[in-house]
Amino acid sequence: MRIIVVGKEGQVARALAERARAHGAQVVLVGRPKLDLADPSGIEDALIETGGDVIVNAAAYTAVDQAESDPELAEAINGIGAGVVAGAATAMNVPVIHLSTDYVFDGTSDRPYREDDPVSPLGAYGASKLLGEEAVAAEAENHVILRTAWVYSPFGKNFVKTMLRLAADREELGVVGDQYGSPTSALDIADGIFAVSRNLLEKPEDRGLRGLFHMTGTGFASWAEFATEIFALSARFGGPSAKVRPIATADYPTPARRPANSRLDCRKLKEAHEVVLPPWRSSLEPCVKRLIEEARKEVAR
Ligand SMILES: NC(=O)c1ccc[n+]([C@@H]2O[C@H](COP(=O)([O-])OP(=O)(O)OC[C@H]3O[C@@H](n4cnc5c(N)ncnc54)[C@H](OP(=O)(O)O)[C@@H]3O)[C@@H](O)[C@H]2O)c1
């Protein structure tokens, strides 16, 4: 199985590259400058030239707050560009797996969101990702859209790395305590994507395997609870830790509004693909351990 991954340095792209061997798969990463989602003209040629059995689009404009002041670029990359990648998959006669987000919802529901719940993004990033979902579905019948949330990993920028960095020189941190979601390891997402890819290739006619699915870590937490667990693990492994003071969203104003409830109901993915991501705490542990070990090696160098 040769998988073309759009995105080179992103969390999910790097996780797919790292996990490929364990799944007996080959991953080829394609990104800028060869493939720029903001420049549709070269996308199809770059993908055809690369060649593969499945295309995974793990690239996106992910700067949620910045998107508020540059909605056109977010729309070009997350909306139009995503559609062009899906169109190329159709031209190549291969399935496309596209990643989307919990931020397509406004977070007012009091239960985990299902795939067919009404969408209503609160900000420009969520709106651009929704446009991408629509474009992918329009351009490729043979598609899977995976909405995920609160992604962290040993790679790139994410909440876990930010918390560990801040704890290095602060004793106490105010962290939002009234937004709930499911912390999701990019390495677990990668494992899920390999399983889904295999299913799509093994059953090319099975419509139940195609469409929109939710895929997050199992269980949920507030950002403050997530931070508390990060610091408990970090302390255990001899890393930095801080006291967490839960604060209200209203006390931490950001350019983009975020959903209070980001929880996604992942039962459809389990039923169709037999994929369930592990409990979020069990995946967090090896990530924190690895980050602390890597930081220690860096200091020793
Ligand atoms: N992070 C989260 O918490 C979260 C939550 C829900 C959903 N998601 C979705 O999950 C997917 C993966 O997210 P992630 O956290 O892995 O993202 P990430 O770490 O921010 O990486 C984004 C990737 O997109 C690439 N990219 C950005 N603009 C591009 C362009 N114009 N052309 C080509 N590549 C471009 C970046 O390339 P460079 O390496 O060249 O910069 C980078 O590799 C995205 O679809 C995201 O919307 C993420």
Residue owning the nearest CA to atom 14 of ligand 1: 11
102 secondary structure, DSSP code = G
User: Is 21 among the domain residues?
Assistant: yes
How far apart, in whole angstroms, are the C-alpha atoms of residue 6 and residue 17? 11
User: Is 173 among the domain residues?
Assistant: no
CA of 7 to the centre of ligand 1 (A): 7
Q: 264 pairs with which residues across the strands?
A: 113
Judged by phi (left if over 0) then psi (alpha if -120 to 50, else beta), residue 220 lies in beta
The domain spanning residue 127 has which CATH number? 3.40.50.720
Question: b or e along 216-238 (b: 16 or more beta carbons within 10 Å of the residue's beta carbon)?
Answer: bbbebbbbbbbbbbbbebbeeee
Give the pLDDT score at 297. Answer: 87
Burial of 116 (0-12, 13-18, 19+ CB in 10 A): exposed
Q: 26 pairs with which residues across the strands?
A: 2
- Give the Cα-Cα-Cα angle 149, 153, 227 (nearest 5 degrees): 70
Tokens of 167: 């704890």
Tokens of 283: 């995946």
How far apart, in whole angstroms, are the C-alpha atoms of residue 195 and residue 58? 16
User: Is 195 among the domain residues?
Assistant: yes
Cα 235 to chain centroid, rounded: 27
* The length of the chain, given as a count of residues: 301
Low-confidence ranges of the chain (pLDDT < 50): none
CA of 1 to the centre of ligand 1 (A): 23
* 139 backbone dihedrals φ, ψ, rounded to 5°: -90, -20
Q: Which residues contact 236 (CB under 8 A, 6 or more apart)?
A: none
Give the pLDDT score at 61. Answer: 98
Average pLDDT along the chain: 97
- Domain that includes residue 267, residue range: 2-157+183-218+257-278
Give the pLDDT score at 25. Answer: 98
How far apart, in whole angstroms, are the C-alpha atoms of residue 75 and residue 81? 8
User: Is 230 among the domain residues?
Assistant: no
Q: Would strands 184-185 and 211-214 be described as parallel, antiparallel, or unpaired?
A: unpaired
Q: What is the per-residue pLDDT across 222-251, written as a single tens digit (0 to 9) for each?
A: 999 999 999 999 999 999 999 999 999 999
Give the pLDDT score at 301. Answer: 79
C-beta 77 within 6 A of ligand 1: yes
Atom of ligand 1 nearest to the CA of 147: 7
Q: What is the per-residue pLDDT across 7-41, written as a single tens digit (0 to 9) for each?
A: 999 999 999 999 999 999 999 999 999 999 999 99
Amino acid at position 44, single letter: E
Under a CB-based contact definition with an 8 Å cutoff, are residues 154 and 294 in contact? Answer: yes
Residue owning the nearest CA to atom 33 of ligand 1: 36
Amino acid at position 186, single letter: A
User: Is 245 among the domain residues?
Assistant: no
SS (H, E, C) 122-183: CCHHHHHHHHHHHHHHHHCCCEEEEEECCEECCCCCCHHHHHHHHHCCCCEEEEECCCEECC
Run of H or E including 54: strand 54-57
Cα 157 to chain centroid, rounded: 12
User: Is 263 among the domain residues?
Assistant: yes
Task: State the pTM of this model.
Answer: 0.97
User: Is 172 among the domain residues?
Assistant: no
Give the pLDDT score at 95. Answer: 98
What separation in angstroms does the CA of 274 have from each of 212, 213, 282? 15, 12, 19
User: Is 98 among the domain residues?
Assistant: yes
CA of 56 to the centre of ligand 1 (A): 12
C-beta 187 within 6 A of ligand 1: no
Q: Is 152 a catalytic residue?
A: no
Catalytic residue among 125, 152, 180, 252: 125
The structural domain count of the chain equals 1
CA of 248 to the centre of ligand 1 (A): 28
Give the pLDDT score at 249. Answer: 95
Q: For ligand 1, pick from 100, 131, 146, 151 the residue to mutate: most ligand atoms within 8 Å of CB.
A: 151
Under a CB-based contact definition with an 8 Å cutoff, are residues 25 and 195 in contact? Answer: no
